[in-house]
Structure 1
Amino acid sequence: MDTLLAPLASPLPSYLEPYRFWIWLQMVAWRLYVRAVKGRGIPFMTVIDRQGTVYLKWIGHPPHEVPQAPEDPLAFRPSKAFRIAIGDLDSAYPGESRNPVQRAANEYPRGIHFTKSGPLPLPDI
């Protein structure tokens, strides 16, 4: 049997018994709404007030049963700098190179060559 047209699950108070059909009709309307919005088989909860009006309280997981994984205080989380250094993330500077030979070649212009020589001559006075 389809749960769309299922009877009311809980007994109604005596003063709402004459309105049982209208309360059931509201429940069918809420079931149709939940199926249209979330799909079939999604849990939801309704509440009936003293006047016989049916309200939707929640759809999906109940608020007290929402699965929350506790955060492990001892878990290792590498920093962003570490992840960039090992190559897990791209650098924030797209022109930056990790190759030290290429970096040194880019820092000095091609016309200047440094050679090992003796001390500099004294300045002219």
Structure 2
Amino acid sequence: MDTLFAPVALTHRDLEPYRFWIWLQVVALRLYVRAVRGKGVIFSVLIDRHGNVELNWIGKPPEALTPDPLSFTPSKAYQAALTGPEPAHPGASRDLLQIAALPQHCSASTLHIITRHPLPLPDT
């Protein structure tokens, strides 16, 4: 017997009266896959609780696919440096009040120079 007309196993018992119509949809999808990809290609179908049959995947299953070697996933430090609430460089999180409170030996003119020119961003 050809696998084209193989019976379908139903997981929902309430779909038993509609077994023929579900089987007919699966046969139509099998014919479609054979027309597009040829005989012997593996594929998966999904049957929902209403009896609708959908094509899930054709070819290799999703878990058999290898990850893309050129994909880039930024590290946590890289993401924190660009978008995080806390900067990666510890000196960049200081605000002007902390700078004014830290140096006890600085004069008013030195404090004015510090507050006028912001700290440079760190090299990452």
TM-score, structure 1 length as denominator?
A: 0.51
Q: Taking structure 1 as reference, are residues 36 and 50 closer, same or farther at Cα in structure 2, changes over 3 Å only?
A: same
For structure 1, the residue ranges without an aligned partner over 5 or more in a row are 72-125
> How far is 1:29 from its partner?
0.2
Q: 1:65 and 1:4 mapped to 2: Cα distance?
A: 24
For structure 2, the residue ranges without an aligned partner over 5 or more in a row are 71-124
> How far is 1:68 from its partner?
5.7
Q: Secondary structure of 1:34's match?
A: helix
Q: Which one-letter code corresponds to 1:64 in the other structure?
A: E
Q: 1:21 and 1:32 mapped to 2: Cα distance?
A: 16
Bigger helix share: 2
- What percentage of aligned pairs have identical amino acids? 59
Q: Deviations over 1:36-92 (max 9, x none)?
A: 000000000000011100000100001110146979xxxxxxxxxxxxxxxxxxxxx
Q: Let me know the Cα RMSD of the aligned residues.
A: 1.8
Q: Is structure 2 residue 5 aligned with structure 1 residue 5?
A: yes
Aligned to 2:51: 52
Q: Taking structure 1 as reference, are residues 61 and 18 closer, same or farther at Cα in structure 2, changes over 3 Å only?
A: same
Runs of 4+ residues deviating >2 angstroms = 67-71
Aligned to 1:123: none
Q: Following superposition of structure 1 onto structure 2, how do residues 55-66 of structure 1 map, counting pairs within 5 Å?
A: 55-66=54-65
Q: 1:69 and 1:43 mapped to 2: Cα distance?
A: 22
Instruction: Give aligned pairs, total.
Output: 70
TM-score, structure 2 length as denominator?
A: 0.52
Q: Which one-letter code corresponds to 1:57 in the other structure?
A: N
Aligned to 2:34: 35
Aligned to 2:83: none
> How far is 1:12 from its partner?
3.5
Aligned to 2:92: none
Q: Secondary structure of 1:4's match?
A: helix
Q: Deviations over 1:81-123 (max 9, x none)?
A: xxxxxxxxxxxxxxxxxxxxxxxxxxxxxxxxxxxxxxxxxxx
Q: 1:30 and 1:22 mapped to 2: Cα distance?
A: 13
